[in-house]
Amino acid sequence: MTSMSKSGAIVLALLLSGCAKEPRWNAVSAEAEPIRPGLAPPAQALTFAQVRNADGRIATLLVSRFEGEAIEAIDLTGLGAPLDSDVFDASAAVGEARLTSALRQTGLARTYAIGELLPSAAAVDRHLASGTNFPEHAEETASSKVFNFPKFGHPTPAITTVRLNPGVLLDYEVEICARFDRDLRSAADFDAARKGFFLCGDFTDRATLVRLVDRDDIGSGQGFSDAKSGPDFFPTGPFVVIPHDWKQFVAQERIVTRVNSELRQDARGGEMILDFRALVEKAITGGGGGRYRYQGAPATLLEGGVIARGSTLMSGTSEGVIFMPPTRGDIAAGVARYVFSGAMFRGEPSFATVGESFIQSEMKSGRYLEAGDRVEHASSSMGAVSVTVVTGGGPA
């Protein structure tokens, strides 16, 4: 393989999933007790959601009770919150003292189905994602550093679908997400900002990532925006939680993934390598250090060097995703294809040929998400997400 560098071959082996004769799965370090989603106590955090009222306008709710498929919540419009406003603006208009007092009163709350609630992320399509920010996931991908990349696409609600288009190797990730009440230009802005946390998913097309990733520098973020962006790839939970002590809240928050009721991921926010403040500082001061592209054109990590209000900051995910290093047989099969197809003698890049061989092998492996699968993300106090995989009709 004269055209493939040694480092490139190693990275190929680290990034891609193998297809053994028997199904393989990444490990998951599960806690002994099953997760029991609920609400954070008001002394620790206030929990909000949003709905469209009968006139089609957006109302902000203060959540007082959560029972699986329904909530009890107080419509803040009756307390003076403006309609069609952001969670931060609506809650600020009422004030924390009145919000806390309202939770102690009876007769203010009504019941809402989870399916009525709007996405917890703001309705913008540009976000700041984080790669390999949990130790075990960094190990299973053999990444040596945390890196940033831009993610594009509007958020979808807590009960939703994701389209599986032809040629896609669909993988899941569960993450803690954050958004802020102001633009962030510095770590000082982060410190001063009100911070809202919510549960989110991050779907990935591993086939696209295989084709576009920089095999010698995963941390460049190259290929990640195309692999992780677009319609359906950003499901969000039902709640925005604004804690009094964000560090304590994130450290204790537990997030899990189940696929068809089988546990696949289980982690706490305290396992993050870089916390949210450090992620902000890294992105703003270093610009992420990547070479970003999206849909064939150059892309910036941050527009104007600013994490814009409304943009989501994603934590990265824990161990237990689908993709795994290839087996020796996968690599050998790819090399054989490279030689015997004549690609080697035509001077074609060996990485591309081996990668395509691997993609075809993975398509047959039965390990990736398929139409009809149900992906469920759950958290301690940010609610849950339920995504059904459906058949798509073409490119996303």
How buried is 22 (Cβ within 10 angstroms: 0-12 exposed, 13-18 middle, 19+ buried)?
exposed
Tens digits of residue pLDDT in 64-93: 999 889 999 999 999 999 999 999 999 999
User: In this predicted structure, what is the pLDDT of residue 5?
Assistant: 45
- Give the separation between CA 17 and CA 355, rounded to whole angstroms: 11
Q: How far is CA 80 from the centre of its chain?
A: 34
Cβ-Cβ contacts under 8 Å for 26 (sequence gap 6 or more): 140, 319, 320, 321, 322, 324
Structure tokens belonging to residue 350: 């060996």
User: In this predicted structure, what is the pLDDT of residue 392?
Assistant: 86
Nearest to 100 by CA among 50, 49, 42: 42
Structure tokens belonging to residue 150: 């831009």
Nearest to 306 by CA among 197, 186, 193, 391: 186
In percent, the amount of the chain with pLDDT more than 70 equals 84
Structure tokens belonging to residue 232: 């359906």
Cβ-Cβ contacts under 8 Å for 202 (sequence gap 6 or more): 129, 151, 172, 173, 174, 175, 228, 233, 234, 314, 317
In 193-294, alpha helices (H): 206-212, 224-228, 246-252, 276-286
DSSP state of 364: T
Cβ-Cβ contacts under 8 Å for 328 (sequence gap 6 or more): none
Residues of the chain whose pLDDT is less than 50? 1-21, 335, 338, 340
User: In this predicted structure, what is the pLDDT of residue 385?
Assistant: 98
DSSP state of 156: B
Nearest to 200 by CA among 170, 239, 149: 239
Cβ-Cβ contacts under 8 Å for 137 (sequence gap 6 or more): 316, 317, 318, 319, 320, 321
Nearest to 167 by CA among 337, 390, 364, 363: 363
User: In this predicted structure, what is the pLDDT of residue 329?
Assistant: 55
- Give the separation between CA 191 and CA 88, rounded to whole angstroms: 16
CB 46 within 8 A of CB 389: no
